[in-house]
Amino acid sequence: MPTERGSSEYKVYNDQEPERESLLPSSSGPQQERYASHSCYSKPRFGVNHLLTAFVAGTLACFLAQYAICGSSCFSYREGTPETAPTDVQALASPWAGSTERHNFPPANPTNAFPSLFPTSVGYAGKTPTGAEAAIVATAPSYPLHTASPQLVAPPPGAPKGKLPKEPFDLFKKWGNLSPWYSVPRTAFGVDSGPETPPTCRVTGLHLLHRHGARYPTAYASYGGPANFSSRLHAVADKWTASGELEFMNEWTYKLGEEILTPFGRQQLFDLGISTRLKYGFLLKNFTESNTIPVFRTESQDRMLASAMNFAIGFFGYPFEGQYQQSITIEAHGFNNTLAPYKTCPNANDPLKADRGRAKVAQWAGVYLAGAVGRLRPLIKGYELQVEDVYVLQQLCAYETVALGYSKFCELFTEEEWDGFDYSLDLYFWYNSAFGFALGRPLGIGYVQELVARLTHTPIATHNSSTNGTLNDDPTTFPLGQSLYVDATHEVVVLQVLTALGLSTLAAEGTLPADHMPQNRTFRARELAPFATNVHFQLLSCTSLPGPQIRVIVNDGIVPLTGLAGCGAQKDGMCSVEAFVEAQRENIGKTDWEWACHGDWDVPEEWETTTGEPPARGAR
Ligand SMILES: *[C@@H]1O[C@H](CO)[C@@H](O)[C@H](O)[C@H]1NC(C)=O
Ligand SMILES: *[C@@H]1O[C@H](CO)[C@@H](O)[C@H](O)[C@H]1NC(C)=O
Ligand SMILES: *[C@@H]1O[C@H](CO)[C@@H](O)[C@H](O)[C@H]1NC(C)=O
Ligand SMILES: *[C@@H]1O[C@H](CO)[C@@H](O)[C@H](O)[C@H]1NC(C)=O
Ligand SMILES: *[C@@H]1O[C@H](CO)[C@@H](O)[C@H](O)[C@H]1NC(C)=O
Ligand SMILES: *[C@@H]1O[C@H](CO)[C@@H](O)[C@H](O)[C@H]1NC(C)=O
């Protein structure tokens, strides 16, 4: 599946809003009884040519199951066409079906571009007095939760007539790392407390580690991969034809690019910047007092840089120049970079060591998609849908939604199948990035070393992991006295950092099975590593506790620190910075980068780790 990696990297709102919950059927049964086709909803996405051709060919009939509700938006020529109409399904897919469609904007040399007539600064700004900084985390009676993705459209209700859905179902929370971030339930990770300042405390600092926003699929896919599927399909477009619920595919084109941020992804980071300013803006007072500006970090990759810029315009407003400095580290082979550590670690690019996730996902897909394959395969004649193809149809739902705002593919699956998809991503990231990954801790340790340096105001002593001495040893590029740090990275790195930190309560259930789905699990990709996931290392000073305190807050859920030596069970999830740092020094000390990244080890079939470490030296 597409992940953060290129070829070498591995890569509340209270569930109340009915339109946003996808009321998909949840039991199995004959397809015809269970589904209503809603191609009328996706129709406007086709170009004029497509529409005309389709009209002539008569292949765009809106196949509605007899009891489907179709509003006035249905065009009359498609109304009421029975699902099994033989004349419609005999036409082959359009020659362009599955082909890639791109709209190259902006044009390279627009004829009306005269920058001199459109100066960006004309003066006359009016009065510009500013006010005081916001401090929601300290001042408001409750903490604002992030609950919805208002621009995205979920599929219309498709439950069979007479059958009420079991419970609210939010499709956008069933996509693992492809889910848009949301505030996890308050006790998701086991601490019954919230991000707001606990009584007797005040917040003194924040280290924010976040992921980029929603993106197109990555070039590399370990399992599945939408572009690859559309090419396969297009290659034989003159041979296949789809009917029933898949009929829309006869006219479907592949509209996704690769790697870069989508408009929705841009908004996620802009929103994150604004919400961070509202919650923690008061931390800027510290900079004014010390006559400095913050240094934030991101990486050279297009979506990473674009994410950081969108965060900055949200956080600082326009124009942000002069308000902070952006460190753009290089993400490429041969460059030490804690935000892209796999580039420094050769073993991370060896599929035998670093891609156990693929086999696990393939095995699990064979289990949970068996019914879907049986249901969908007969709907395409001339191309035999494989399990991996059907998995891609689920990926397409997620990717098209976060890129184009809506996807017809979302209507094809049951709730159980979406739970299965979500779990496939837990499996993938458990084995390829986090606690079940032999390189989880080594790859995350560089960031932990930086965190310790910042928490102790002490430079890193030895650069023997992914840290970059050139940048880290220079107090200008890697300052140590800031009250606010913001770092942008990839989901795999966020998971590696959580693993390296030894937050073992996130791995409470031990290993994850590929033959069934454990209902009760704390390791969920959608809660830990969704698009724009954000980890707060919140620093506090409390009259009730000795010394500075720290909390780890993932997507507004407080993570217990009880797995760390010296950090007891504190009701708000706090640990003294001193004990936390001591535990992290231990984690750093027991990490053997040389062996992990350059050692000649392999992973036996039955071997498992739950701490993200490779087999010990001499174990083979
Ligand atoms: C699709 O994937 C297969 C196997 O991973 C590969 O051999 C093939 O070249 C890919 N095709 C495209 C069009 O990407
Ligand atoms: C450290 O980062 C700088 C700036 O990105 C880069 O020029 C340098 O090559 C890096 N050093 C190493 C050893 O990768
Ligand atoms: C880059 O990383 C390698 C491997 O950990 C290390 O030996 C080297 O000193 C680092 N270089 C710099 C400039 O930090
Ligand atoms: C700013 O914050 C840092 C980190 O919390 C702290 O060490 C420093 O004393 C503060 N500086 C001022 C001027 O308040
Ligand atoms: C789920 O796991 C938690 C923590 O391991 C445990 O306390 C709880 O009893 C479990 N619930 C079920 C229904 O198994
Ligand atoms: C780096 O070197 C130090 C001192 O030799 C060692 O204690 C530590 O484990 C090493 N760290 C890594 C990440 O290899």
Pocket of ligand 6, beta carbon within 6 A: 445, 462, 464-465, 589, 591-593
Domains of the chain: 194-216+261-350+430-598 (3.40.50.1240)
Are the C-beta atoms of residues 45 and 468 closer than 8 Å to each other? no
Are the C-beta atoms of residues 366 and 386 closer than 8 Å to each other? no
pLDDT for 552 equals 98
Q: What is the mean pLDDT of residues 409-436?
A: 96
- Least confident span in 68-82, 109-123, 135-149, 443-457: 68-82
pLDDT score of 77 more than 50:
no
pLDDT score of 194 more than 70:
yes
Are the C-beta atoms of residues 195 and 211 closer than 8 Å to each other? no
DSSP helix, strand, coil percent of the chain (3-state; round to 5)? 40, 10, 50
E strands of 441-559, at which residues? Answer: 484-489, 534-542, 549-554, 557-559
Cα 227 to middle of ligand 3, angstroms: 36
> What is the rounded average pLDDT for all residues in the chain?
86
Q: Whose CA is nearest to atom 6 of ligand 4?
A: 481
Are the C-beta atoms of residues 223 and 514 closer than 8 Å to each other? no
Atom of ligand 6 nearest to the CA of 593: 14
Question: pLDDT higher for 254 or 36?
Answer: 254
CA distance 240 to 227: 18
In our burial notation (b when 16+ CB lie closer than 10 A, e otherwise), range 26-35 reads beeeebeebb
For the whole model, what pTM was predicted? 0.86
pLDDT score of 6 more than 50:
no
CA–CA distance from 243 to each of 35, 53, 325 (Å)?
A: 13, 17, 55
CA distance 95 to 203: 61
Q: Whose CA is nearest to atom 4 of ligand 4?
A: 483
Q: For residue 319, say if its preceding peptide bond is cis, omega within 30 degrees of 0.
A: yes
pLDDT for 132 equals 93
Helix 387-404 vs helix 356-368: crossing angle, to nearest 10:
100
Instruction: Report the DSSP beta bridge partners of residue 535.
Output: 209, 554
pLDDT score of 590 more than 90:
yes
- Least confident span in 70-74, 189-193, 251-255: 70-74
Backbone angles phi, psi at 392, to 5 degrees: -65, -35
Residue 239 three-state SS = coil
HSE of 217, CA atoms in CB hemisphere, 13 A = 26
CA distance 97 to 253: 5
Ligand 1 contact, 100 CB (< 6 A): no
Q: What is the mean pLDDT of residues 599-606?
A: 90
Structure letter (DSSP) for residue 596: I
Torsion-angle region of 382 (φ positive above 0: left; ψ -120 to 50: alpha; else: beta): left
pLDDT score of 187 more than 50:
yes
Are the C-beta atoms of residues 505 and 522 closer than 8 Å to each other? yes
Name the CA radius of gyration of the chain, rounded.
25
In our burial notation (b when 16+ CB lie closer than 10 A, e otherwise), range 147-179 reads bbbeebbbbbbbbbeeeebeeebbbbbbbbbbb
Reference 213, options 145, 336, 298; nearest CA is 298
Structure letter (DSSP) for residue 221: B
pLDDT for 237 equals 87
H or E element that contains 549: strand 549-554
pLDDT for 605 equals 83
Helix 356-368 vs helix 415-432: crossing angle, to nearest 10:
170
Question: pLDDT higher for 492 or 10?
Answer: 492
Count CB neighbours of 241 within 10 A: 24
Ligand 3 contact, 533 CB (< 6 A): no
CA distance 11 to 218: 9
Atom of ligand 5 nearest to the CA of 508: 5
155 band by pLDDT with thresholds 50, 70 and 90: confident
pLDDT for 115 equals 94
Q: Whose CA is nearest to atom 4 of ligand 2?
A: 329
pLDDT for 215 equals 98
Question: pLDDT higher for 251 or 27?
Answer: 251
CA distance 561 to 505: 8
Instruction: Classify the C-alpha dihedral 29-30-33-39 as positive or negative.
Output: positive
Q: What is the mean pLDDT of residues 541-568?
A: 97
Probe residue for ligand 5, chosen from 189, 506, 520 as the CB with the greatest number of ligand atoms within 8 Å: 520
211 band by pLDDT with thresholds 50, 70 and 90: very high
pLDDT for 618 equals 77
Tokens coding 216: 């197109």
pLDDT score of 299 more than 50:
yes
Burial (CB < 10 A; 0-12, 13-18, 19+), residue 133, is middle
Atom of ligand 3 nearest to the CA of 469: 14
Q: Whose CA is nearest to atom 4 of ligand 5?
A: 508
Number of residues written out for the chain = 620
pLDDT score of 70 more than 60:
no
Burial (CB < 10 A; 0-12, 13-18, 19+), residue 119, is exposed
pLDDT for 46 equals 33
Ligand 2 contact, 336 CB (< 6 A): yes
Residue where the block lists tokens 């004029």:
48
Q: Whose atoms come closest to the Cα of 522: which ligand?
A: 5
CA distance 548 to 540: 6
pLDDT for 21 equals 28
Q: Whose CA is nearest to atom 3 of ligand 5?
A: 520
CA distance 485 to 495: 19
Q: Whose CA is nearest to atom 8 of ligand 6?
A: 589
Q: Specify the amino acid at residue 101.
A: E
Ligand 2 contact, 467 CB (< 6 A): no
Ligand 3 contact, 336 CB (< 6 A): yes
Taking only the tens place, the pLDDT of each residue in 29-60 is: 333 322 233 333 333 333 333 333 333 333 33
Question: pLDDT higher for 45 or 159?
Answer: 159
Structure letter (DSSP) for residue 184: P
Cα 180 to middle of ligand 1, angstroms: 28
CA distance 171 to 179: 9
Pairing relationship of beta strands 241-242 and 380-381 according to DSSP bridges: antiparallel
Pocket of ligand 4, beta carbon within 6 A: 204-205, 286, 289-290, 481, 483
Alpha carbon 359 to its chain's center: 21
Ligand 1 contact, 231 CB (< 6 A): yes
Cα 566 to middle of ligand 4, angstroms: 26
Tokens coding 345: 């670690």
pLDDT score of 500 more than 80:
yes
Cα 146 to middle of ligand 4, angstroms: 29
91 band by pLDDT with thresholds 50, 70 and 90: confident
Q: What angle do CA 304, 305, 310 make, to 5 degrees?
A: 100
Q: What is the mean pLDDT of residues 138-155?
A: 92
pLDDT for 460 equals 97
Q: Whose CA is nearest to atom 8 of ligand 2?
A: 335
Q: What is the mean pLDDT of residues 202-209?
A: 98
Residue where the block lists tokens 């460059």:
335
Residue 48 three-state SS = helix
Helix/strand/coil (H/E/C) assignment for every residue in 294-314: CEEEEECCHHHHHHHHHHHHH
Are the C-beta atoms of residues 444 and 529 closer than 8 Å to each other? no
pLDDT for 164 equals 52
93 band by pLDDT with thresholds 50, 70 and 90: confident
Taking only the tens place, the pLDDT of each residue in 438-494 is: 999 999 999 999 999 999 999 999 999 999 999 999 999 999 989 999 999 999 999
pLDDT score of 16 more than 60:
no
Atom of ligand 3 nearest to the CA of 467: 14
HSE of 422, CA atoms in CB hemisphere, 13 A = 25
Q: Whose atoms come closest to the Cα of 560: which ligand?
A: 5
H or E element that contains 526: helix 525-528
Alpha helices in 159-254 (DSSP H): 226-235
Cα 520 to middle of ligand 5, angstroms: 6
CA distance 585 to 462: 13
Cα 118 to middle of ligand 1, angstroms: 47
Q: What is the mean pLDDT of residues 272-300?
A: 98
Are the C-beta atoms of residues 565 and 585 closer than 8 Å to each other? no
pLDDT score of 169 more than 60:
yes
Taking only the tens place, the pLDDT of each residue in 215-240 is: 999 998 899 999 999 999 999 988 99
Taking only the tens place, the pLDDT of each residue in 351-374 is: 999 999 999 999 999 999 999 999
pLDDT score of 72 more than 70:
no
